Structure 1
Amino acid sequence: MSDQLTMQRTAMRIGPQGDFGVVVEGFDPTSTDDVREVKRAVYRERIALVKGVELEPRQLLALAGAFGTPVPYYEPIYHHPDLPEVFVSSNIDSGPQRIGVPKTGKFWHSDYQFMPRPFDLTFIQPKVVPTRDRGTYFIDLARAHDELDPALRRAVAGTTATHSVRRYFKIRPDDVYRPIHEVLDEIDARTPPVTLPTIHAHPHTGREVVYISEGFTTTITEPDGTERPDLLRELFAATGQLDDTFEHPAIRLQTFEAGDLLIWDNRSLIHRALHTTTPEPAVSHRVTVFDDAGIPA
């Protein structure tokens, strides 16, 4: 068995992907050593594009479970019918018992940023890939912190940021014909706004992160309680989140094809989906995990 694992480690190759993330080839999802090495690479380089790994939903869930604890998304409409831990994004109309939700994530955000504990790692397996307009935009908030203008970094020090799902909550089938105030009251009761330091240390790497997103961050507040919408807008602009051309130097487009698997550090990266403008079908499966173990030794 040890000789076999040595062969697997030798077969797996991890190399740079330009100036952002790594490409992994020859990955064996059943190998503890491969999992450990890829996990280290994800925390070091933010994202891994794993090539040639076509996983069924149960296999994807099992792999994510080797990295941490998979958690079902809190809204059931996103759940895979057999595996609630698998989040389904799909624009395919499957009738009354629709599976998945179309056009998810078309705004800058971090998964579960509006919850008391955001997810640590995100796994995406594209299942049906359109021929064009496919990919996900990313911004590295640790790198963004390091590149902030020093005056802006000093102005933000000591402030807190409040995050809420209110702005991009997707109306559910059962919400049709309900008064909007009832829906909003339910959102606030189930997912009340959460507040975190605007700049804080990554829980595993220790790097400082400017933890804001255009999708979920609603306010920045001074220690004395003064709200600073000007600072929030400055941070959005500085980190590239107001650039609708996606040409800001902080923005990276991660493309993918059938058989690829994306794994990323959800506490460092915010992302925004690039959805096809054509009627082509698109389906992906996602699993998100809490990681209590951290970076392997």
Structure 2
Amino acid sequence: MAAQPGMGVVVENFDADSAEDVALLKKTVYRDKIAVLRGLDLDVPGFLALGRRFGTPEAYYEPAYHHPEHREVFVSANVEENGRRIGVPKTGRFWHSDYQFMPRPFDLTLTSPRVVPARNRGTLFIDLARAYEALSPELKRQVEGSTATHTVRRYFKIRPGDVFRPLGELVAEVDAKTPPVTAPTVYEHPHTGERVLYISEGFTESMHDADGRSRPDLLRELLAATGQLDDEPSEVPVHLQTFEAGDVLVWDNRALVHRAVHTDTPEPAVSWRVTVHDRAAA
């Protein structure tokens, strides 16, 4: 396993059928945050089977994102397959942790790039454990005992069948399927013991301090301090992870926020994703 500058490792000759390789890789991901498995080139059943070796996958709540034969596989694609659209285009163009709006955080994300654009490709990552450590003593004091509320409202993608529906009706449906979730702003990572600042520009809607007061000012300051507001400088490094078709990326979804890099021109792009609960954390 070769270390990359700043974050992550590249793994050659990974054996997806080896319990020893899977256990070692899981430890490596929790330590180094990202692993790139070179040249696995798995089919959909093989990719899902690999995800199950790391934990328990859960299907995304919106069926439009499902692979037609394996609902636990999330598909991001801007091309048609056999004359029909599979998945949803241009997903993840904002800072987020996968499924942060769900009641129980997911531990690991696996992605398999299938069609990779020639330009402007990759995924950006920020380590929110490192970001918390970099906060000033005053910001750490203000965050202690606070809570953050997460919701999918802001980046919910309008479906073809939603045309002409009243906005209030649509918002009510979104809240019924995925009610806003409130959790501690900082929590202890169950696998590493690190303190993680669990907020994102995409899904964190509001924040309240230890006395229950709404703190939009504090939320914005934390997002800026962690590098999630593009128009403001940050001391926290942003890591660009590149990949090739056939690779598999595995990352620590509890510690990282990420944002996809998309081209401004319509280059073909297809990727699969499986997000899992690590059974060791149950």
- Please tell me the TM-score bracket, short chain as reference: over 0.9
1:10 aligns with none
Unaligned runs of 5+ in 2: none
Whether 1:197 aligns to 2:184 is yes
Whether 1:136 aligns to 2:123 is yes
Distance in 2, matches of 1:125 and 1:246, equals 32
- Tell me the alpha carbon deviations over residues 274-295 of structure 1, each in whole angstroms, 9 at most, x when there is no partner: 0122221000000111112159
- The equivalent position to 1:84 in structure 2, one of 64, 67, 71, is 71
Distance in 2, matches of 1:170 and 1:95, equals 24
Whether 1:173 aligns to 2:173 is no
SS in structure 1 at match of 2:124 = strand
Unaligned runs of 5+ in 1: 1-13
Question: How far 1:224 sits from its partner (Å)?
Answer: 2.4
SS in structure 2 at match of 1:253 = strand
- The equivalent position to 2:90 in structure 1, one of 90, 103, 109, is 103
Question: How far 1:248 sits from its partner (Å)?
Answer: 6.0
- The equivalent position to 1:188 in structure 2, one of 158, 175, 195, is 175
- Tell me the alpha carbon deviations over residues 123-147 of structure 1, each in whole angstroms, 9 at most, x when there is no partner: 0000001111110000000010111
* 8 A contact 2:131–2:236 mirrored in 1: no
SS in structure 1 at match of 2:26 = helix
- Tell me the alpha carbon deviations over residues 7-58 of structure 1, each in whole angstroms, 9 at most, x when there is no partner: xxxxxxx121112011111111111111111111001111101111101110
Aligned length: 282
SS in structure 1 at match of 2:279 = coil
1:160 aligns with 147
SS in structure 2 at match of 1:105 = coil
Distance in 1, matches of 2:25 and 2:275, equals 16
Return closer, same or farther for 1:232/1:260 CA change in 2, 3 Å cut-off.
same
2:60 aligns with 73
Return closer, same or farther for 1:156/1:21 CA change in 2, 3 Å cut-off.
same
Question: How far 1:176 sits from its partner (Å)?
Answer: 1.4
Paired amino acid for 1:254: Q
SS in structure 1 at match of 2:280 = coil
1:17 aligns with 4
In the TM superposition, what are the counterparts of 1:12-51 in structure 2 within 5 Å?
14-51=1-38
Whether 1:112 aligns to 2:103 is no
Whether 1:279 aligns to 2:269 is no
Distance in 1, matches of 2:23 and 2:128, equals 24
Paired amino acid for 2:141: R
Distance in 2, matches of 1:156 and 1:25, equals 41
Distance in 1, matches of 2:234 and 2:42, equals 33
Whether 1:123 aligns to 2:107 is no
1:242 aligns with 229
Distance in 2, matches of 1:98 and 1:214, equals 29
SS in structure 2 at match of 1:293 = helix
Distance in 1, matches of 2:158 and 2:58, equals 22
Distance in 2, matches of 1:218 and 1:96, equals 38
Distance in 1, matches of 2:43 and 2:223, equals 37
SS in structure 2 at match of 1:218 = strand
Whether 1:233 aligns to 2:214 is no
TM-score, with structure 2 as normaliser: 0.96
TM-score, with structure 1 as normaliser: 0.91
SS in structure 1 at match of 2:273 = strand
Distance in 2, matches of 1:246 and 1:134, equals 23
Return closer, same or farther for 1:85/1:207 CA change in 2, 3 Å cut-off.
same
* 8 A contact 2:142–2:209 mirrored in 1: no
Whether 1:52 aligns to 2:3 is no
Question: How far 1:198 sits from its partner (Å)?
Answer: 0.5
Paired amino acid for 2:205: T
- The equivalent position to 1:253 in structure 2, one of 240, 252, 265, is 240
- Tell me the alpha carbon deviations over residues 48-88 of structure 1, each in whole angstroms, 9 at most, x when there is no partner: 01111101110000001001011111110000010001100
Distance in 2, matches of 1:95 and 1:237, equals 44
Distance in 2, matches of 1:168 and 1:258, equals 27
Distance in 1, matches of 2:281 and 2:212, equals 34
